[in-house]
Structure 1
Amino acid sequence: MKIILTQEVNGLGAPGDIVEVKDGYGRNYLLPQGFAIKWTRGAEKQVDVIKRARGAREIRDLGHANEVKGQIEALSVKLAVRAGDTGRLYGSVTAAEIVDAVRSAGGPALDRRRVQLPGAVKSVGDYKVQVKLHPDVTATFTLAVTAAK
């Protein structure tokens, strides 16, 4: 099955890429989740629009990615969340909350889909978080999760 990706899918491609996938994967996962649209000649004309939108919000090149990486790794990111007496959180920390914490710490605006968590963050402590900025550049920073008063 030939599809056009509308969002980044790990191991498959970026928005605007035309890829060939197995029928079941495309029909049962990518299309219903909104990660892709079915390929047609008319839809292929939309690829330019998708790629232009991606270019406007994406890291421009390798040099820009390294510059953003330096900004992120210099940050001290702290996130205060509700927690019990034992340090266990009520819920867990999401990628969107991490992006907001980076922005409030003075960092650049990031895409939440590029944040890679080490696992579920369900207790207070320090966690290593990775942000994939470019296919060749990954920034790593420490997220300090504390209990909100």
Structure 2
Amino acid sequence: MKIILTQEVSGLGTPGDIVEVKNGYGRNYLLPQGFAIAWTKGAEKQVTLIKRARSAREIRDLDHANEVKGQIEGLKVNLKARAGDGGRLFGSVTSAEIVDAVKAAGGPSLDRRRLEVGGQIKSVGSHPVRIKLHPEVTATFNLNVVRG
């Protein structure tokens, strides 16, 4: 089955890529989740629009990714969250909150879907967060969750 990806799918491709997948994977997962659209000649024309939008917000190349990595790893990122007496949060920290905290700390604006958090953050303290900037570059920083 030929499909056009609309979002990044790990191990498959990036938005705008035309890929061949098994029928069940495409029909039962990628299409219903909105990760892809069925390939047609008209849809292939949309690929250029998707790629143009992606290139506007994506990190340009490996050197730019390393530069952004240096910016991110040099940041002290603090996030205020409501917590109980034992340091346990009411709820958990979302990826959107992490991206906002990085931007508030003076870092670049990031795509929340590229964040890799080892499980849910449900307590006050320092937590390692990884972000995939480029297929070859991954930045790691500590998110300090404080009671707020």
Shared topology, TM-score over 0.5? yes
What is residue 20 of structure 1 aligned with on the other side? 20
Task: Name the amino acid aligned to 1:110.
Answer: L
Q: By percentage of residues, which structure has more strand?
A: 2
What is residue 11 of structure 2 aligned with on the other side? 11
What is residue 118 of structure 1 aligned with on the other side? 118
CA RMSD of aligned residues (A): 0.8
TM-score by length of 1: 0.96
Identity in percent = 75
> What SS does structure 2 have at the residue aligned with 1:113?
helix
Residues 51-108 of structure 1 show CA distances to partners (whole Å, capped at 9, x for unaligned) of 1110000000001000100000010000010111111111111111100000000000
Residues 1-57 of structure 1 show CA distances to partners (whole Å, capped at 9, x for unaligned) of 111000111111100011111222211221112111001111111111111110000
> What SS does structure 2 have at the residue aligned with 1:79?
strand
TM-score by length of 2: 0.97
**Unpaired runs of at least 5, structure 1:** none
Task: Name the amino acid aligned to 2:95.
Answer: A
What is residue 39 of structure 2 aligned with on the other side? 39
Stretches (4+) displaced over 4 A: none
The number of equivalent residue pairs is 148
